Structure 1
């Protein structure tokens, strides 16, 4: 039995219903410093510690990430809504994006958001183009984490603070 292909609009609308943590993905290296907001991030394996991030292949920053061969995943808190918006493109100037946050350096030179819930410094091991996005696979070489805070989430095309979502689901 053949099925009609799923339309782009149907897929996007369905994915909008999927709750995901909001992350700022940064890079810093010979090609320069850059960053973008992403929800498409997940672990791959713990041996070696590896995760993946999806990045739009049409992004002006694609070459920067590929040349630097490293990236940092910063998991945001509810206090980072504005910063998430800046890195999602609301602020086109990269220097202004970074000026809006407090950053610390990993030993690699990559920069982590000082008050992120957790930051993963990654070496780019593989990049694969699938449709409109590059899947960046990175081996985690250093982690910074804090014990408090709640993740900033994205669901129904809106930012939601982690505890707010939990309370809404209880009602």
Structure 2
């Protein structure tokens, strides 16, 4: 069915040819994403933060990418440790996501909340997360303000009783139903 492009164009907000940081952030706020804790432990320290810049890359071999801002205080710990624990959150973890997103809360205080475990790599994993992925960093690509970590998944754990996932969209948390087939 043909579209009336004049009508579609009138419904869009146009920006100038140069893309501002604010304009880009506003646009990306409308890209839904899972709410995830990424954690690490080892000689570089015990660190963690909340991210939404994460996605699968490949299932052969199982690979995830995580984007970390190089100015984040935990950034060097991830690089030095070489391991990443990924805990995909459910709505019950809303407050924990806020704690791990805060730059004013020390790591020891962050990890004092929640029930933590480890698996193959030794990275901290949230015991009651919707899904945990235990990973090793294999490749790091720098672009702009961030490093993109390509992480090999060494183990996976999935919570079978979860009814909802936690997503970030339009700068707010949203609950998404888990549909099991």
Question: TM (normalized to structure 1)?
Answer: 0.90
Query: Whole-Å Cα distance in 2 between the matches of residues 37 and 129 of structure 1?
Result: 20
- Aligned residue number for residue 140 of structure 1: 153
Measured after TM superposition, the shift of residue 148 of structure 1 is 2.6
Q: Quick one: distance in 1 between partners of 2:166 and 2:57?
A: 21
Contact 1:91–1:97 (Cα < 8 Å) also in 2: no
Query: Is the contact made by 1:57 and 1:133 (CA closer than 8 Å) also made in structure 2?
Result: yes
Deviations 1:5-32 (A, max 9, x none): 2211111111111111100000011222
Is the CA contact (8 Å cut-off) linking 1:26 and 1:35 kept in structure 2?
A: yes
Structure-2 residue corresponding to 1:166: none
Tell me which of 43, 47, 50 is aligned to 2:60. Answer: 47
1:152 is aligned to 166
User: What residue is the counterpart of 2:79 in the other structure?
Assistant: 66
**8 Å Cα contact 1:83/1:100 also seen in 2:** yes
Matched-pair contact (CA < 8 Å) for 1:51–1:139: yes
Stretches of structure 2 that go unaligned for 5 or more consecutive residues are 1-15
Larger radius of gyration: 2
Which residue of structure 1 lines up, in the alignment, with residue 6 of structure 2?
none
Counterpart for residue 168 of structure 1: none
Instruction: State the aligned residue count.
Output: 161
Mapped to 1, the partners of 2:25 and 2:122 lie a distance apart of: 36
RMSD: 1.3
TM-score (norm 2): 0.85
Q: Which residue of the other structure, out of 120, 137, 156, is the alignment partner of 1:124?
A: 137
Displacement after TM superposition at 1:68 (Å) = 0.2
Distance in 2, matches of 1:108 and 1:13, equals: 36
Q: Comparing both chains, which one has the higher relative contact order based on Cα–Cα distances under 8 Å and sequence gaps of 6 or more?
A: 1
Distance 1:28 1:90 in 2: 18
- Cα distance change, pair 90–132 in 1 and its aligned pair in 2 (3 A): closer
Task: Give the unaligned 5+ runs of structure 1.
Answer: 164-171
In the alignment, the residues of structure 1 paired with residue 103 and residue 171 of structure 2 have an alpha-carbon distance, to the nearest angstrom, of 15
Distance 2:70 2:45 in 1: 18
The separation in 2 between residues aligned to 1:103 and 1:75, in whole angstroms, is 13
- After the TM superposition, which parts of structure 1 deviate over 4 Å for at least 4 consecutive aligned residues? none
